[in-house]
Structure 1
């Protein structure tokens, strides 16, 4: 699986050039390497059977004995399919064009290629070596934990039936399975909920400090206090605001990081749930879906509170230079939360749809 491009696009267009390039990688690198070991390589546009193409792709991603994934450019469809594949724990070989590799899967071993024909030949040989080692010794297990948290993959042998010439699922009794992957996601979601509560608590602290400062400034104004007195009050406010503002930005950064790490795994899990009949999903799935909705609800409350500080941040910074650093931390936290929660809303929307199906 990998980027395909558009064969019907105008010649010379970026879409058609992408089609030609990735077709060349498949025909010159991937297919010959697989053919050497009697493995049939299939691209999405080469599926011969009639039917729903999206369902066919998902089934190939989940059921195929082996997947070679070209992650060049971090194509969203490819990354979604890759997350779906990683949840299965089945063998996956990762390749990508040098300089076009997504940063968030940097911990995964990658075969890099360049567009020059001689260098493509080198990539083909590397894939052949990976196939030979995997068929002989067993493919390295790639679990959701490695994708979601950047952990090292669990070492364990996989086996292939004698004479089959194809890779099969690992038989290691200690290898994590699908439920283990869900536990990893659950743990990450629990940590995100804790982050949300910490953000809410810190926002309340900042709000209380702001109220105190506003009251003090009003009193000074009514008393016609000199500017130096008001500046001293602002300086005290800035000093008291510094620690919670830094804390807010730190927790928001952690929240955003967990979101980015969990995103592909959660989307893959939701894809698997969608493919599972509602009456077979079980209580664990219901809990998982409810957790996504609860997390989104809590985060939306925290975001609405923190956004009010973001709106007034510019005015605060203009009031005194002492407030600039706390305001920068608060503004950065608002931006981080906005970016993260937009993804979370997608999770929750999908979870709500699946929850309705489960309830029925």
Structure 2
């Protein structure tokens, strides 16, 4: 699917294991990775050699297209657009068309710089051709199309706003499940006090399982979306924090400070929710032993709790870095 897409635009595709010249294969691959006009990287499974070579490529700032088999994409680069494929004829044909579209857009409009290349350019001093001004004054000239710090912040802030909306939806869903659980507990207490037969109690449990089926399914769906969004934002947020750290405090501007404040307040809200979520998961676990009717909703609750805990832990790492940067700025 790669070679035909490249041939359409007169690009000769060379597989890494198809290099004809004699010599050290590792050196040859690294040279191709660094020097080729275009690299198409299959990131399926996060092969360590591929990740290492991909890092070399990203630093060059040269065009790179990511492809990967669905379900095997590595978490670390989840925020970078990746053309996904499945090993069926129809899906491979669709992926080839996506590669063709990416090539067409890149050749027409230019390929977007990825975060490592933008960070490296931000670190460069003003002594090269890219930083010389037309008038000879030595002022830095930025690529008109490359995003700046505030552009990156704007994109991330939109994602952070969506994360906040996810958290609100999760909280409401948990409250709904909690209210239904309290109603069921009251009903079960009444049945116990009335010495009702086990069949009546089982029927009550089955009704409870049915009533929480939809909200637990929704909780699982929203939690998965929340965790996925957090994973996609992670590399961008960390890169933005790195850029802020490299920028002198008096040159950061209001946008950087607002971004740090946003990360800290989001974490405070998330930590309050984490305590509620942990308690919720602990109380739900024993329900699975009551009846087979409850096993599916309890499993969905357990899965959601694990996803949320991992995602909120990541958010705490962002906030810790943001607090350190604010503290250093205040000093």
> Contact 2:205–2:291 at 8 Å: present in 1 too?
yes
How big is the shift at 1:334? 0.5
How big is the shift at 1:209? 1.4
Structure 1 equivalent of residue 264 of structure 2 = 293
Question: In 1, distance between residues paired with 2:247 and 2:39?
Answer: 22
The CA deviation string for residues 226-269 of structure 1, in whole angstroms up to 9 with x for no partner, is 11221122122112111111111111011001011001111100
Structure 1 equivalent of residue 193 of structure 2 = 222
Question: In 1, distance between residues paired with 2:327 and 2:315?
Answer: 18
Structure 2 equivalent of residue 235 of structure 1 = 206
Structure 2 equivalent of residue 102 of structure 1 = 74
Question: What are the within-5 Å matches in structure 2 for residues 112-131 of structure 1?
Answer: none
Structure 2 equivalent of residue 205 of structure 1 = 176
Question: In 1, distance between residues paired with 2:186 and 2:66?
Answer: 61
Q: Compared with structure 1, are the counterparts of its residues 174 and 324 closer, same or farther at alpha carbon in structure 2 (3 Å cutoff)?
A: same
Question: In 2, distance between residues paired with 1:272 and 1:196?
Answer: 27
- Does residue 244 (structure 1) correspond to residue 218 (structure 2)? The answer is no
Question: What are the within-5 Å matches in structure 2 for residues 29-108 of structure 1?
Answer: 29-31=29-31, 73=47, 90-91=61-62, 93=64, 102=74, 104=78, 107-108=81-82
TM-score (norm 2): 0.65
Question: In 2, distance between residues paired with 1:198 and 1:36?
Answer: 47
Q: Compared with structure 1, are the counterparts of its residues 319 and 197 closer, same or farther at alpha carbon in structure 2 (3 Å cutoff)?
A: same
Structure 1 equivalent of residue 27 of structure 2 = 27
Q: Compared with structure 1, are the counterparts of its residues 101 and 253 closer, same or farther at alpha carbon in structure 2 (3 Å cutoff)?
A: closer
Question: In 2, distance between residues paired with 1:235 and 1:194?
Answer: 32
List gaps (5 residues or longer) in structure 2: 1-23, 85-102, 116-128, 132-140
- DSSP-derived class of the 2:47 partner: helix
How big is the shift at 1:95? 8.7
Question: In 1, distance between residues paired with 2:214 and 2:327?
Answer: 43
Structure 2 equivalent of residue 256 of structure 1 = 227
Structure 2 equivalent of residue 316 of structure 1 = 287
How big is the shift at 1:96? 11
Q: Compared with structure 1, are the counterparts of its residues 240 and 74 closer, same or farther at alpha carbon in structure 2 (3 Å cutoff)?
A: farther
Q: Compared with structure 1, are the counterparts of its residues 160 and 97 closer, same or farther at alpha carbon in structure 2 (3 Å cutoff)?
A: farther
Question: In 1, distance between residues paired with 2:40 and 2:297?
Answer: 48
Give the total of aligned pairs: 261
Question: In 1, distance between residues paired with 2:68 and 2:271?
Answer: 38
The CA deviation string for residues 49-85 of structure 1, in whole angstroms up to 9 with x for no partner, is xxxxxxxxxxxxxxxxx9999986369x969979x96
Structure 2 equivalent of residue 125 of structure 1 = none
Q: Compared with structure 1, are the counterparts of its residues 294 and 358 closer, same or farther at alpha carbon in structure 2 (3 Å cutoff)?
A: same
> Contact 2:67–2:82 at 8 Å: present in 1 too?
no
List gaps (5 residues or longer) in structure 1: 1-23, 38-65, 111-129, 145-158, 162-168
The RMSD of aligned alpha carbons is: 4.2
